Amino acid sequence: MRKTQRRMARRHARIANIRADALHQLTTDLVQRFDVMAIEDLNVAGMLKNHPLARAIADMGFGEFRRQLAYKAAQCGKTVVIVSRWYPSSKTCSACGYKMPKMPLAMREWTCPECHTHHDRDINAAINLRTVAESSVRGSSPVSA
C-alpha cells in the first residue's frame, strides 16, 4: 500500500510540475512577445460552481496565470490591462460598437443588426479586448484597472 501511495504521489507531483512549467513558459513567451496584454477579470469562483466544468477550470490555473503574467510584465516593464468582468466584450460589435441587449452563452456566432457584420463570439471579444488595451495605453479607458 505504501509503495502504491509513493508511486501515485510521484505521478501527481510530475503532473503538477509539467503544468507549472507549461504555465511559466506560456507567460514568459507572452511577456517577451507583447508590450501590452489585456485579460478579463473572470469570476473563477463562480465558474467553479458549474460542476461539469469545475475540474477543467481548476486545472487551468487562471489565478496563477494572472499572477505570473502580472509579475513578469512588471519585471520587464510591460503592461497588463485587466478588463472588468462586466465589460460586454463578446456582445459588443467590434465594427460599429452596437451592444446586443441579450445574448445567451450558447450563441457562438451572431450578426450585428446595425452594420450586418457577422461575428464569431470569441474572435469579436478578442478584438474588443485589444481595443480596450490600446485605448488604456493611451490613457482613456474606464474599464481597465
In this predicted model, what pLDDT tens digit does every residue of 17-50 receive, in sequence order?
A: 999 999 999 999 999 999 999 999 888 888 888 8
Instruction: Indicate if the pLDDT at residue 144 is higher than 70.
Output: no
- C-alpha dihedral over 131, 136, 139, 142, to 10 degrees? 90
Q: Indicate whether 12 and 47 sit together in one domain.
A: yes
Q: Indicate whether 69 and 10 sit together in one domain.
A: yes
CB of 63 within 8 A of CB of 108?
no
Q: Indicate whether 73 and 92 sit together in one domain.
A: no
62 backbone φψ class: left, alpha, beta (φ>0; ψ -120 to 50): alpha
Could you tell me whether strands 109-111 and 79-83 are parallel, antiparallel, or unpaired per DSSP bridges? unpaired
Q: Indicate whether 74 and 108 sit together in one domain.
A: no
Q: Indicate whether 91 and 54 sit together in one domain.
A: no
User: What is the helix (H) or strand (E) element at residue 111, kind and residue range?
Assistant: strand 109-111
**pLDDT score of 142:** 43
Q: Indicate whether 98 and 57 sit together in one domain.
A: no
Q: Indicate whether 67 and 50 sit together in one domain.
A: yes
Domain count, the chain: 2
Find all residues with CB under 8 Å of 28, minimum gap 6, and list them: 72
Note the pTM of the prediction, 2 decimals.
Answer: 0.76
- Quick one: 140 exposed, middle or buried, by C-beta within 10 A (0-12, 13-18, 19+)? exposed
Q: Indicate whether 126 and 58 sit together in one domain.
A: no
Q: Indicate whether 47 and 108 sit together in one domain.
A: no
**pLDDT score of 130:** 92
Q: Indicate whether 72 and 101 sit together in one domain.
A: no
Q: Indicate whether 64 and 102 sit together in one domain.
A: no
Q: Indicate whether 9 and 70 sit together in one domain.
A: yes
Domain of 132?
Answer: 87-145
